[in-house]
Structure 1
Amino acid sequence: RGAVTFEEVSVGFSPEEWAELRPWQRALYREVMCDNYDLVASLGEGAGARAGSLRWGAQRSSRHHRHL
């Protein structure tokens, strides 16, 4: 199998779903997603995995950051 992208191992929440999470669930989500981000970035042999990670970084800033 080829490179794994961050999108393949990530999970997102709608604003409504995010609002339903408890603070400890949000903290756990952040921790797991950051660990996944680091792992995928470390496995990246080519631009595929890195590009997926970078795209997530941009999405994280715009989509999830306001909820963090």
Structure 2
Amino acid sequence: MSEIEHLHNNFFCCHRSYIVNLESIIDSKKDIVIFKNNISLLLTDKSTKKIRKSLKNIVFTSH
């Protein structure tokens, strides 16, 4: 787990090279998350499970 994740609960390390702000996610589908700027990110199976658990407390805003 990265140091940034420990600093704030809204940050999530979904890959060795990617740390995402959960508040920036507007939608999630099977193994993809979509951000406010319409960029999408493909997740691994392991990350998908972890991020879905984290997202349960985040309310999605409309596109």
TM range (shorter): 0.3 to 0.5
Q: Which has the higher helix share?
A: 1
The two structures have a TM-score, normalised by structure 2, of 0.36
Higher relative contact order (CA 8 A, sep 6+): 1
Q: Which has the higher strand share?
A: 2
Q: Which has the larger radius of gyration?
A: 1
